[in-house]
Amino acid sequence: MVQLSSWRVIALKGIPYVSHIDMDAFFASIEQAANPTLKGKPIAVTGIGKRHSVVTSASYEAKRLGVKSGMAFFEALKLCPDLIAVGVQSKKYGYISKEIMKMMTSVSPRVMVASVDEAYIDLSFHTKLEESINRFISFKRDLKERFGITASVGISVNPIISKIASDYSKPNGFVVVKDGMEREFLNEIPVKDVPGIGKHTLIKLESMGYKMTGELLEGLEKSPMDLYTMFGNAFMGFLQSLTKKRFSRNEFFKEERPKSVGHSMTLSGDISDFDLIVRVTNFLAARVIYRMGRYKMEGSGVSFFFRYADRSSKAISKKLNFTISSIKDMTEITPWLISSIWNGTAVRAIGISCWALKEKKNQRQLSLFEKEKELLETVLQIENKFGEYAIFPGNILFLPEIRKLEKPSDLHYQGFCRREVSC
């Protein structure tokens, strides 16, 4: 949560609106703004090694040709032969993201950061909708002048509809769904564009004849049992949330710690040696511990996945009868996790995460563990000063291709913290 203390809460009734703001092709736009020769050209921000790297962000010139985030670069190249690969620079994106989130407090003092490139903003601090719109116009102008990028804004009385609205006219969109116009707006939205509806659910919905959101909401009113029988109670609750005009602001904007913390990596070359796989996994596990340490949390659930060279995947999730709070805890279980799902063939990507998180207890009694705690705190202090990847396990240097890099942060990696949000 980002807040600005200079705002004063006044006793006037605020407007019922909430906004969602989403940066347009965030990483790719940053690179195009930094390098004018890339403007107007199809680019993909990706990791090292084109053979196995994944598109992290694509410019709109590339998107128009079918290039999407998460797509293998070699597949994107088939769709767009002129696609330009630009190396990912996570530190730069993280810094710009934090600065943008600070800028958002010029619109409202209550900002909930949803990810590195999107946020929800409470507009109830304004008494007139026009006032908040003018604030956003100023914000978008400042964003363009300072960083050379654009953002799309959606405003409504419902957070989910605001998110749909922000995506409605990208890039550089600005959509306001006035109170009372929600159903009319949703009638124009394809079911596939509703966040929270996955591809498997979408296939079932389309087989039932639901292609537009308005049709789906009409089905909710006329034949709710058919939808309940097919999708269950959670989906029914989700559909009902689309029709709500009011929600608990205090609950929605309440600052929460993440529900899970994870780290994944797409490798520049396939690896099939068990020891190398363990080293990469332990490297990622250390990143997970560092991230949990920032939140002063520990976890009792762990998930692990492989993506093989043939692009098939295998995953495992386990609820443990003990908590994970140190690198030692993680490295004791990573060989077991690997052995549980590895089929012996070459691995392209690895990911590990912790869940069932809770506040870390300071109940270590052995001096050895106290030293580990001090080490973790020292690592966090170093990274706070010098940034992520300022410190890392030395055995990562023995991985193939790593010695060719200037620093381990040049690796194509993805860290993620997940926060469950509902209204």
Where, residue-wise, is CATH 3.40.1170.60 in the chain? 26-89
**Res. 121: pLDDT tops 50:** yes
Average pLDDT over residues 389-412: 47
Task: Report phi then psi at 246, rounded to 5.
Answer: -130, 150
**Given this structure, which CATH class describes domain 26-89?**
alpha beta
Strand-pair partners of 87: 46
pLDDT digits (tens, 9 = 90+) for 293-326: 888 899 999 999 999 988 899 999 999 999 998 8
Q: In which band, very low, low, confident or very high, does the pLDDT at 52 lie, cut at 50, 70 and 90?
A: low
Cα 233 from Cα 250, distance rounded (Å):
25
Q: Tens digit of pLDDT for each residue in 247-272?
A: 778 778 877 778 899 988 878 778 99
More confident residue, 6 or 233: 233
Give whichever of 34-38, 192-196, 377-381, 387-391 has the largest mean pLDDT: 34-38
Alpha helices by DSSP H, listed for 67-198, are 73-79, 90-103, 129-147, 159-168, 182-186
Domain at 260-418: CATH code: 3.30.1490.100
Amino acid in the structure at residue 377? E
Picking from 94, 270, 247, 92, the residue whose alpha carbon sits closest to that of residue 157 is 247
Q: Is the CATH number of domain 185-244 1.10.150.20?
A: yes
Q: Where in the chain is the domain with CATH 3.30.1490.100?
A: 260-418
- In this predicted model, what pLDDT tens digit does every residue of 144-202 receive, in sequence order? 999 999 999 999 999 999 999 999 999 999 999 999 999 999 999 999 999 988 888 99
Question: In the structure, how many helices (H) and strands (E) does the chain have?
Answer: 15, 13
The answer to whether 405 and 392 are in contact (CB under 8 A) is no
Kindly state the tokens that stand for 213.
């959101």
For the chain, where do the domains classified as CATH 1.10.150.20 start and end?
A: 185-244
Distance CA 121, CA 249 (A): 11
- Which residue is associated with the tokens 């079911």? 191
| Cα–Cα dist 110/96, whole Å | 19
Catalytically active residues are 118
Enter the pTM of the model: 0.71
